[in-house]
């Protein structure tokens, strides 16, 4: 696995996991030139794209889109992304996780995020689904 700077073509080439199909429709907006992003490549194919978008000074929103075949690479991917988050110049990094996406919640915690919402936030995601807010502070 090789981590490279995110390119928009990586998002177009990823075979997104079914649990993230709705978020994938908005991924291009998250891959903003105002943010920072990375792609995990295996044999030249993207298995994950992730990044940070600055909300304001000291605060950023984290996002990730994983392919349906990212499973075998989750340990090294988690280590790499956690390292990127540790080096990021933000006091607070937030992410939203679909309330029904248990694997996403587990990964958020593995990346050092903690859930800040005891109940899901209704109609939070672009598709109208509920989400939990996670943060690294």
pLDDT digits (tens, 9 = 90+) for 5-53: 999 899 989 988 888 877 787 777 777 666 799 999 999 999 999 999 9
pLDDT at 29: 73
Instruction: Output the pLDDT for position 34.
Output: 64
97: pLDDT confidence band, cut at 50, 70 and 90?
very high
- CA distances (Å), 1 to each of 44, 51, 70, 93, 112, in order? 9, 17, 11, 25, 22
Torsional sign, CA 1, 3, 132, 33 = negative
**Residues paired with residue 134 on neighbouring β-strands, in sequence order:** 95, 115
Q: What is the mean pLDDT of residues 109-132?
A: 96
Q: Which fold has domain 2-136?
A: Aminopeptidase (3.40.630)
Q: What is the mean pLDDT of residues 67-77?
A: 96
pTM of the model: 0.92
- Give the pLDDT confidence score for residue 22 in this predicted structure: 76
Report the share of the chain in percent with pLDDT over 90.
80
The predicted structure's pLDDT at residue 17: 87
């Amino acid at each position: 696995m090789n981590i490279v700077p995110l390119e928009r073509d990586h998002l177009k080439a990823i075979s997104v996991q079914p649990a993230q199909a709705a978020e994938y429709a908005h991924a291009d907006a998250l891959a903003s030139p105002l943010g920072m992003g990375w792609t995990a490549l295996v044999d030249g194919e993207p298995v994950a794209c992730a990044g940070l978008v600055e909300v304001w000074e000291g605060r950023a929103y984290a996002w990730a889109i994983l392919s349906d075949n990212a499973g075998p690479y989750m340990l090294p991917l988690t280590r790499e992304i956690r390292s990127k988050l540790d080096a990021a110049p933000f006091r607070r990094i937030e992410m939203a996780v679909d309330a029904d996406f248990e694997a996403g919640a587990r990964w958020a915690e593995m990346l050092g995020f903690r859930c800040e919402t005891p109940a899901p936030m209704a109609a939070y995601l672009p598709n109208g689904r509920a989400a939990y807010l996670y943060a690294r502070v």
